[in-house]
Amino acid sequence: MYGCGLRVSEVISLNISDVYAKDEFIKVFGKGSKERLVPIGNKTLHELMLYIGGERLHQDIKPKFSDKVFISARGTSLTRQSVFLLVKRLAEQAGIKKTISPHTLRHSFATHLIEGGADLRAVQQMLGHSSITTTEIYTHISDEYLRQVIMEYHPRWHSQKTSTN
């Protein structure tokens, strides 16, 4: 979810046939059954392929769900609720005190891209937002990050900061 900025519904509906490992992208069916191609980074792709070629092979998968990437213990697709509970449990195990949801991971994906200098239109396309306005909510967080960077590194601001310390 974090590696590609996917919604929970997109994760649970992802098919193996929608993973184009050689080309490093996945085909996602988002809101309103809109299809989009999302790049998948090397680390995320590596972990996904380890799961598909490893742990998933040892699951008893019901025939109807044989193309689904993520499978429940019952051999069917995961549910939205099971993904939410899994993310919550893993966050707790990692010692994270904040409430973390699947959407938190999507939000972090977008925020980190924008903070890293990604084009807002590219982020919009990756997230599957029909309106740029929806994507612009992530720029507010980025504005704070930019303010911190200026305070830290701009000669005028940095010298004022260090002279008062």
Which CATH number goes with the domain that contains 55? 1.10.443.10
If one compares 1 and 144, the residue with the highest pLDDT of the two is 1
Q: With cut-offs at 50, 70 and 90, classify the pLDDT of residue 119.
A: confident
pTM of this prediction? 0.77
What is the 3-class SS of the chain, one letter each residue?
A: CCCCCCCHHHHHCCEHHHEECCCCEEEEECHHHCEEEEECCHHHHHHHHHHHHCHHHHCCCCHHHCCECCECCCCCECCHHHHHHHHHHHHHHCCCCCCCCHHHHHHHHHHHHHHCCCCHHHHHHHHCCCCHHHHCHHHHHHHHHHHHHHHHHCHHHHHHHHHHC
Asked whether residue 2 is domain-assigned, the answer is no
> 45-102, pLDDT tens digit by residue?
999 999 999 999 999 999 999 999 999 999 999 999 999 999 999 999 999 999 999 9
For residue 159, pLDDT beyond 60: no
Please count the structural domains in the chain: 1
Asked whether residue 87 is domain-assigned, the answer is yes
Catalytic center residues = 7, 31, 103, 106, 129, 138
Identify the domain containing residue 38 by its residue range.
8-164
